[in-house]
Amino acid sequence: MSENIQFLKINMKVMKTILYVLLIVIGINIIIDLILGNTDIGNKGVSYANSLSVFLIIIAIVNPVYIFKRSIHLGATRKDYYLGALLSYIFYAAVFSVLNIFWLVVENHYLIEFMEYFNILIIFEWDRYGIVEMFTYQFFAYLLLMSLLNLLFSAYRSIIGIGIYIVLVAGIPVSLSIGSLRHKVAEGLTLLLFNPSLITVVLISSIGLILFFAAGWWFTKRREV
């Protein structure tokens, strides 16, 4: 337990620095958008909370690339590190799910006077549901994305991991260039992101993130520091 707490302290210290930088960037963006909105130069922008959510991508990369080595050097086991990483992913996914819901209310009631915003809750039509549903859709989407990134960056020094990269690099453009495959990819994304059945989304996402996290742990156990 003490090792997990130590990991979380390291994680929070690093992530706090990254978050401060993102907050400064978003703050500057807010000021610019308000000025442009008042002058009619710009009338649409990306939701600030959505922009800040790029933090979730960063943490899923920083954990396996940097925090892993630091934790092991400080005496933590790979199991301690990975458990701490999982807890941090769950925590941040929940925090940003709540943040985006709160900020959507702010945008719809206050900031809409200055500018219209692209918000993932509206784009994926999650805003048509209640707060619990909006939270759940986001939470599992964020966690699924972080589990995939965690897997990819946990495997970056492995021969098998390099093979995964090659398959992805080759497979993505091929799937998008072939009409039938492109249609299947679109169907898969629609099923995951635009599905009105919350239970289906939770089940599909849970299967995916469990597989990704399990694969990430497989690579983590075999990683050299």
Query: Model-level pTM?
Result: 0.83
pLDDT at res. 79: 92
pLDDT at res. 39: 46
What is the C-alpha separation between 102 and 124, in angstroms, rounded?
A: 17
pLDDT at res. 156: 85
What is the C-alpha separation between 63 and 21, in angstroms, rounded?
A: 18
With a cut of 70, list the residues of the chain below it in pLDDT: 1-15, 25, 28-43, 172, 174-176, 179-181, 183
Q: Break the chain into its structural domains and give their ranges.
A: 2-130
